[in-house]
Amino acid sequence: MKKENLVITALLFFLASCTSTSNDAGRYPEGIEHVIVIGVDGLSPDGIRNAKTPVMDSMIANGAVKWNVRTVLTTASSQNWASMIMGAGPEQHGVTNNDWERDDHTLPPIVAGDEGIFPTIFGILRQQRPDAEIGAVYNWSGFGRLFEKKAVNYDKTFSTEDSTAADFIHYIKEKKPTFGFVHFDHVDHAGHHYGHGTPEYYAAVGKTDSLVREILSGIKEAGVDQNTLVIITADHGGVGTGHGGATIEEGEIAMILYGKDIKKGYKIQQQVYTYDLAATIAFAFHLTPPYAWIARPIKPAFEGFEEPANLWKGKEVIASPTIFPPKNLYQQAGGLYINQPATVTIKAAADNNVIHYTLNGGIPDSSSPVYKAPFTVDSTTVVQAIAYDDKGNASLVKSAYYRIVKPDANTGLSVSFFKGKGWKQLPVFGGLVPAKKWNSYEFTIDAAQLADVKEKDNPTFALVYDGYIKIDTPGKYRFFTQSDDGSKLYIDGKKVVDNDGDHGVQEASDDIRLDAGMHSIKVEYFNAAGGYWLDVFYKGPGLAKQIVPANRLFKHK
């Protein structure tokens, strides 16, 4: 083939690959006159899938959904709500935690408007459509500090989800807003109080569904349902009774788009991030987003628009198998077994999946043993499992920690409980007197036990775990604490892990060289407010990362 023909062929291929993208340039949905966003704090994909949500289910069946929208880190409320309306992440807008205030923060926005904050969709809409009716009604008062006050016609906050919904519906009927944003906080409250994935959490999600029904009815009664786009979104999910960490359960949410110009029954394929909400609203209103935004509109959700031509899907990840007993709130999958073996049962998410597993903490692959039936383990074991479908697609690896112990009088740790007030970091324990003491086999927080000693209206407390850890093989060991809020770990009086501070679930770790034998170990932990969580892991010579097991821990004599 001649050189000229090669060049022409390459050019034609390039133009063809860009066709859908170039055809979309300068094009917008037609006829969307109103956008209503329903933001639900703490609403996880699991919540929608497992709670009774007939209204949201119908919206998904007759609209578009993205089940794995990625949040920004950390998975706390302020930075995620800010990102949603600001079309950018914390690196750009500077809202890095829940302590952020307009006049009190460490990282300034890379660009700011008249009110000193990064530009939001509220401000951009007001700037480009001066006559637009714009309103926000929110259950969490903190949401109100994140948008330009001068940009809105209506700005109200209420203490309950019912009063929030009632006022927002009244506003829709009276003013027929161009853009309305409602925020509900009750699902997050249920997650913190009862735990994510509990019946109470699912009941709160079900309550959301009934509120969504009322809002949709209000839109219809206002006579604007035929030209309104409704978007349901969230700021984060959760683990146990907390959030803030970098896990799938905390860092992925669902987004539902429903109404005018939205495809029916469509599953969005392009990668979506929470900050893409702002760009999608701007796209629906034909607005020009500010250059400082990094968000991209979710175009394929709209009729007449295709997925990006350069969409790279990567390898498909199928659903992971479940190892029983499964993870539940703070308890990792597996469990503690006293004077008895453990039965390991693994279940695939789909009938055509084949499960492979390991018992030594190694990462399983297609060459690992195939799981066929339940089996027992009679010593501390880390079980890891992976699933493959008939196309060769693999799941993420799931882990379970089975700790088998035959206790004697010295097995376990001593635990001291301390009452506190207003702590933002670990207190100096030398000046405190424990309110109660007990023994624990491991570094665990027993919610039922805490309920008996914790002050009813004061969520702040601290725990100190003391004992010895038995090391069989000399060498370098890495210790980890995963905690919400702060924790520190000491070996032989030396601070090894510093995970202090008022934060969501996060992990910190460090190394130490240990000789064979007994070493003193101490973990200090505190909870400032909200959810609490503590897990302590280690790994070392011949040991995969695992919960520090009860058969390695001993009390002071």
CATH number (domain holding residue 205): 3.40.720.10
Let me know whether 353 and 279 are in one domain. Answer: no
- Give the per-residue SS3 of 242-263: ECCCCCHHHHEEEEEEEECCEC
Higher pLDDT, 203 or 240: 203
Same-domain status, 469 and 352: no
Band the pLDDT of 244: cuts 50, 70, 90. confident
Of 374, 405, 436, the last residue of a domain is 405
Do residues 550 and 336 make contact, with C-beta atoms less than 8 angstroms apart? Answer: yes
pLDDT in tens, 490-514: 999 999 999 999 987 889 999 999 9
Residues ≥6 apart with Cβ < 8 Å to 58: none
Task: Identify whether residues 230 and 176 lie together within a single domain.
Answer: yes
CB 134 within 8 A of CB 126: yes
Same domain, 59 and 205: yes
User: Which band of pLDDT confidence, cut at 50, 70 and 90, is reported for residue 90?
Assistant: very high
Residues 292 and 165 in one domain: yes
- Identify the CA nearest to 355 among candidates 307, 402, 322, 316: 322
For residue 352, what is the domain's CATH number?
Answer: 2.60.40
Give the model's pLDDT for residue 21. Answer: 46
Do residues 276 and 73 lie in contact, with contact meaning Cβ atoms separated by under 8 Å?
no
pLDDT above 60: residue 7 = no
Is the domain of 57 the same as that of 199?
Answer: yes
User: Cβ(317)–Cβ(394) under 8 Å?
Assistant: yes
Q: Do both 241 and 349 map to the same domain?
A: no
52 occurs within a structural domain: yes
Q: What number is the average pLDDT over the span 262-285? A: 98
Let me know if residue 29 belongs to a domain: no
Q: What is the pLDDT of residue 146?
A: 98
Residue at which a domain ends, from 405, 437, 460: 405
Residues 394, 257, single domain; the answer is: no
8 A C-beta contact, residue 117 and residue 103? no
We report the CATH number of the domain holding residue 457 as 3.90.182.10
Sort strands 398-405 and 334-338 into parallel, antiparallel or unpaired. Answer: parallel
370 lies in the same domain as 448: no
User: Hey, CA dihedral for 426, 430, 431, 435, is it positive or negative?
Assistant: positive
Residue 503: per-residue pLDDT = 87
Query: What's the confidence (pLDDT) of residue 14?
Result: 47
Residue 228 lies in a domain: yes
Report, as an integer, the average pLDDT of 319-328: 93
Q: Average of pLDDT values for 144-158?
A: 98
- How far, in Å, CA of 543 to CA of 527, rounded? 30
- Residues 425 and 368 both lie in one domain: no
CA 525, distance to chain mean position in Å, is: 22
Q: How far is CA 212 from CA 56, 182, 217, 400, in A?
A: 8, 10, 9, 38
Q: Above pLDDT 70, what percent of the chain?
A: 96
pLDDT digits 0-9 by tens, 213-233: 999 999 999 999 999 999 999
HSE, side-chain direction, 13 A CA sphere, residue 449: 12
d(C-alpha 180, C-alpha 415), whole Å: 51
Report the amino acid identity of residue 160.
T
Q: Give the whole-angstrom CA distance, residue 308 versus residue 300.
A: 8
Q: How many domains does the chain have?
A: 3
Does residue 70 lie in a domain region? yes
Tell me if 288 is assigned to some domain. Answer: yes
Residues 60 and 191 in one domain: yes
Q: What is the mean pLDDT of the chain?
A: 94
20 occurs within a structural domain: no
163 part of a folded domain:
yes
The answer to whether 117 touches 144, Cβ cutoff 8 Å, is: no
Q: What is the mean pLDDT of residues 165-184?
A: 98
Residues 515 and 426 in one domain: yes
| pLDDT at residue number 25 | 73
Q: What is the mean pLDDT of residues 431-436?
A: 94
Q: Which of 395, 325, 318 is nearest to 356 (CA)?
A: 395
pLDDT at 522 over 80: yes
Segments forming the whole domain that contains residue 189: 34-301
- Asked whether the predicted pLDDT for residue 1 surpasses 80, the reply is no
Residue at which a domain ends, from 405, 426, 448: 405
18 in a structural domain = no
Residues 6+ apart with CB under 8 A from 513: 474, 475, 476, 477
